[in-house]
Amino acid sequence: MTDFAAGDACLLFDKKGRRYLIELIPGAQFHHHHGLLPHDEIIGAEEGTTHESSRGRPLVAVRPRLADFALKMPRGAAVVYPKDSGAILVWADINPGNVVVEAGSGSGALTMALARAVGANGKVISFEVREDHAELAEKRIRGFFNELPNQIELRVGAIEEGLRELRPDRVVLDLPEPWHTVPIAAERLAPGGIFCCYLPTVPQVQEVRAAIDAADVFFDVMTFEMMMREWAVEGRSVRPSHRMIGHTGFITVARKREPAGDR
């Protein structure tokens, strides 16, 4: 890992394990309730270094994991939770070199996870209907990577339109009415390609499953949800945490076959 540079995202941990996400800006100061820490002390230093606030409190500086960043970044649209983005990457089998068409970009959290999975030889084309959300997504993506990675292409517009001229390996949706995209995804996805969507409510899942059935080219269809329960480990007291994220969304995944008659 290279040393911290100006513009990098940095996560500071205090003694109590509280975490603070900052962007490193020359001349700026981090204000902790136990003193100040100049960003210039972190810029040029190694990741994992313990710095001291002006009142002698230790602060450990590391790069945020994508999960930390997604949960801590100021956001407009609700993000895909890390427990769910992990499952999306695995069950939609996002792999290096894939061309993924995504919508909506929202706050960019899922776009970043997809971009890492497809790698420098892949492509994530992300559609967003709201210009303000598209701008925010770009800002957040630049905030995390300190640039807009080449494999990410952000487009303002509805996916139902944009997808018509593309031939992706994967279509990944986090928007309220994915059933409008299903017929176009059925047509444009490469055979063997995967359709995936993330939905918060049961009626939405029912509607998208009906559209998937109606398209008549999808098989191996599966809907599931992810539960993540953290444990508190303090000496001999080892038990599940009292609090957990009870519900986020349902993930639906379907594979495309060659339409009958095309063989």
Question: How far does CA 254 lie from the centroid of its chain?
Answer: 20
Binders in 166-225 for ligand SAM, by CB under 6 A: 174-175
Q: Which residues contact 178 (CB under 8 A, 6 or more apart)?
A: 197, 199, 204, 208, 211
CB of 96 to ligand SAM, least distance (A): 21
CB of 198 to ligand SAM, least distance (A): 7
Residue 8 touching ligand SAM (CB under 6 A): no
Helix (H) or strand (E) holding 136: helix 131-145
Span from 21-29, 41-49, 55-63, 102-110 in contact with ligand SAM (CB under 6 A)? 102-110
Residue 78 touching ligand SAM (CB under 6 A): yes
Residue 77 touching ligand SAM (CB under 6 A): yes
Residue 108 touching ligand SAM (CB under 6 A): yes
CB of 109 to ligand SAM, least distance (A): 3
Exposed/middle/buried for residue 65 (C-beta within 10 Å: 0-12, 13-18, 19+) = exposed
Nearer to ligand SAM, 57 or 75 (CB): 75
C-alpha 79/C-alpha 123 separation (Å) is 21
Residue 67 touching ligand SAM (CB under 6 A): no
- Given 57, 63, 72, 130, the residue binding ligand SAM (CB under 6 A): 130
- CB-based contact 125:155 (threshold 8 Å): yes
Instruction: State the amino acid at position 175 in one-letter form.
Output: L
- CB-based contact 196:218 (threshold 8 Å): no
Residue 79 touching ligand SAM (CB under 6 A): yes
Q: Helix, strand, or coil here: 92?
A: coil
Residue 104 touching ligand SAM (CB under 6 A): yes
DSSP, res 179:
G
Exposed/middle/buried for residue 107 (C-beta within 10 Å: 0-12, 13-18, 19+) = buried
C-alpha 8/C-alpha 63 separation (Å) is 8
Residue 106 touching ligand SAM (CB under 6 A): yes
Binders in 136-165 for ligand SAM, by CB under 6 A: 158-160
Interacting residue ranges for ligand SAM, rule: CB under 6 A = 77-80, 103-104, 106-110, 127-130, 133, 158-160, 174-175
